Structure 1
Amino acid sequence: MPYLDHPSALIRALAREAARRTGTDPLAYYRAGIQAAEPRVGAVGGLAETGSRADGPLLTALLDNPAPQVRVHALRALRSLDVVPMPRVTALLRDGSTTVVKEAAATLAPSATQLPADLLWDMLTDPQRPAVRRAGYRLLSRHDRLTALRAALVVSGDTHPRLAAQGKNDATTQIRNLAPHPWRTRPVPSLDASPAQAAELLALAEQRRTELTEDVVRLLRDALRPGPGNR
């Protein structure tokens, strides 16, 4: 049936309506289409729009497809159907395709706290690939506030300008949010950092003093200083 696996979701929807009138089953068409030797990304998208969680195994098999765009669309489909095979998608965080790495991180973001922390910190310091570091940062940012701040301070010194700028901006925002202000009606949230954790955060901030500014480093030092308001 023409256009059932068109790249455009709107055209696919119109084609499905026409197909049903002629007795064609779009779902069966998509299920067969993604098992072809060279699956079309439109068929993957169509299955995401018409399939169910039962189609998870068919879509998971596409994560081994040699075409990056097929892997990307398979990830989107799995996310859409809420059937994400965590171990298999986690392996794609170091995929050879930057686009696949980005999509894998987006797929795992809601479950970021379930991922091994050691893996994410290792990704954050990957010596060669900014895409892997960016994915690690995105996932660490979904953890608790202490972890998110530590990750932002690390990334603020990244060799990739855009990633470093993001880390600097995020760290600055998080640190400023720790400072008390007269207009705040709620208590300033605490980082609940241990002495060792506080020392590490301050050491990272000192290393990034030029990027963060003296004022921001001072705010962090004040927020981490033991006292009635910082417990």
Structure 2
Amino acid sequence: MRDEMEAAARRLADGTPLAEALDVSSATAWIALDEHVRTELRWRRAAAGRTWRAATFSGVGEPGPSAVALALCDPDGRVREAALAPAGAEPSLLPLIAIRCADWVAPVRDGARALLRAALPGAGAAAMPVLAAVILRAGVRLRGDAARELLESALRRCDAVTLDAVLASEDRAGRRLAHRMAVERGHFSPARLAEIAAREGDVVIQDVCSEAALAGSGTGTGDEVLLPLLRSRQSRVRSAGVTALHRTGLHARAEPFLYDRSSMVRACARWVMRQDGRDPVELYRARCGDGDVPAGAPIGLAESGSRADAALLWPLTGHPLAVVRAQAVAGLRVLEAQGLQRLAPLLDDPAPGVVRESVAALVPWAHLLRDEELTLRLAPDLPRHIRVGAFRLLAARGGPAYGEGVRMLVDDAEPKLRARARAFVGRTAPAGRRRAE
């Protein structure tokens, strides 16, 4: 980034237009340019051999936008202050004006805020996304809150097209603020908010939109709001939808979510069922004893049951479905069941998820396993997940067998095993040998 900013500053010093010298659509580029120019005091114009500061306000003619951009970043507060007047006539320089709103020099700071206050209402859909991103990043600085307040005020009053542009911005902070403002303005219907929450990847926006969707629909929340939430791939959004089932009186619809893949959703579903006077533990026990076991039933039983329920989970470690086997092993670990060393045969399971859960359960019991049965599982012809699990348990045991495993794997073809073995060698080698290597 330093080399990029050096090249950009040199191009600006030579009079190259802003859009050609810098990626003006990137908030990172604007902020990096400001930081770079302020710390580099010896910029030379390639042709004239003078510092760009001397050429910027030499009194000969009007400075162009490129020269003004550099002057706005100048380490000398007097130069920055003098640059504000010509900058106010150049909309393309608004990102640098926004940065100057947090300037440590009061006249620069006050002048920049006045310019930003006047310019923000007319910024438009093309300029507002990057401007918002710059303001929010600079807003974390000391004295940066004033520009953020101006931005919030502008987003409350801007036209729908401009707000939509910020809502679709690639900048995460800008999108978060825009969604808050959209909720405040009533920009979306509850159904639309539910759809946004259901497909959104950012957890903050998920919460903002799901909460607003449910609040906006009140106690009469219908399927147009509930279904997008309940069908979402995002666990936080499903949790919000499941919790809302209590308010709407649709408690029975929470039962399938007792077996959800997310612990958060399962917990919400159990709460809803209890509000309806039903005991989720009994439902879990019944399903774990069925021939058709939902994948989340074993771990759900472990989360809400007692150690006595381990008797229902042990048979499920041999279930035909790998996901049920894995969840049964995870449930036994949660219940801290006795005799978990009985899980050792599952270290050869063809499903990586089952082996992963078995290893996690066996780590506290690793001292009860035999060295040779773990060392044999390091053989290069075995599946990767079996070898990785065995090596992790050898590491938990320590001792000579672990050292032997390290020697076996230090030049192994599997990158993960090789890296772990070499890391151990690096930690245990004498300092002089490590330096030589």
Alpha-carbon offset, residue 48 of structure 1: 1.4
State the Cα distance separating 1:71 from its structure 2 match: 0.9
| 1:53 alignment partner, one of 307, 311, 319 | 307
Query: Match for residue 357 of structure 2?
Result: 103
2:336 & 2:272 partners in 1: Cα distance?
Answer: 28
Equivalent in the alignment of 2:326: 72
Residues 156 and 167 in structure 1, CA contact (< 8 A), matched pair in contact too: yes
Q: Which protein is richer in helix relative to its size? A: 2
Quote the Cα distance in structure 2 between the aligned partners of 1:88 and 1:217. 44
Q: Does 1:139 align with 2:385?
A: no
Q: Which residue of 2 aligns with 1:33?
A: 287
2:428 is the counterpart of 1:156: no
Q: What are the within-5 Å matches in structure 2 for residues 169-180 of structure 1?
A: 169-176=423-430
Provide the C-alpha distance between the structure 2 equivalents of 1:19 and 1:171, rounded to a whole number of angstroms: 53
1:55 shift after superposition: 0.8
Amino acid at match of 1:54: A
Which residue in the other structure is 1:166 paired with?
420
CA drift at 1:160: 1.2
TM norm structure 2: 0.39
In structure 2, what is the equivalent of residue 62 of structure 1?
316
Match of residue 208 from structure 1: none
- Conserved 8 A contact 1:62-1:71: yes
Alpha-carbon displacement from aligned partner over 1:81-125 (angstroms, at most 9, x marks no partner): 001543531010111112212221111011111101110111122
SS in structure 1 opposite 2:296? Answer: helix
Answer yes or no: is the 8 Å Cα contact 1:5–1:41 preserved in 2: yes
Q: Structure 2 counterpart of 1:118, which letter?
A: E
Query: 1:15 pairs with 262, 265, 269, which one?
Result: 269
Match of 1:210 in 2: none
Deviation at 1:159, TM superposition (A): 2.1
Q: Post-superposition shift, 1:37?
A: 2.0
1:129 equivalenced with 2:383 (yes/no): yes
Amino acid of the residue matched to residue 398 of structure 2?
Answer: D
Q: How many residues align?
A: 183
The structure whose RCO (Cα within 8 Å, separation 6+) is larger is 1
**2:260 equivalent to 1:6:** yes
Residue 202 of structure 1 corresponds to none
CA RMSD in angstroms comes to: 2.3
Alpha-carbon distance between aligned partners in 1 of 2:382 and 2:435, rounded to the nearest angstrom: 29
- The unaligned stretches of length 5 or more in structure 1 are 181-214, 220-231
Any conservation in 2 of the 1:109–1:142 contact (CA below 8 Å)? yes
Distance change >3 Å, CA 217–CA 127, structure 1 → 2: farther
Which structure is larger by alpha-carbon Rg, 1 or 2? 2
Aligned residues of 2:284 and 2:297 also touching (Cα < 8 A): yes
In 2, Cα distance between equivalents of 1:157 and 1:50: 46
SS in 1 for 2:382: coil
SS in 2 for 1:83: coil
Moved over 6 A (4+): none
Confirm or deny: 8 A CA contact 2:346 2:354 kept in the other structure: yes
Deviation at 1:218, TM superposition (A): 8.3
Deviations 1:123-169 (A, max 9, x none): 12252322222111111111234443332222212221221122111
C-alpha distance in 1, partners of 2:414/2:398?
25
Structure 1 counterpart SS, 2:258: coil
Output the amino acid matched with 1:64: G
**What is the match of residue 224 of structure 1?**
none
**30-39 or 81-90: bigger deviation:** 81-90
In the alignment, the residues of structure 2 paired with residue 144 and residue 17 of structure 1 have an alpha-carbon distance, to the nearest angstrom, of 43
What TM-score do the two structures reach when normalised by structure 1? 0.71
Where in structure 2 are there 5+ consecutive unaligned residues?
1-251
Distance (whole Å) between structure 2 residues aligned to residue 97 and residue 26 of structure 1: 29
Cα shift at 1:39:
1.2
For the 8 Å contact 2:371–2:401, the answer to whether it is kept is no
Aligned to 1:90: 344
Whether the 8 Å contact between 2:288 and 2:298 is mirrored in structure 1 is: yes
**Please, which of 365, 369, 381 is the counterpart of residue 115 of structure 1?**
369
The one-letter code sitting in structure 2 at the alignment partner of 1:72 is A
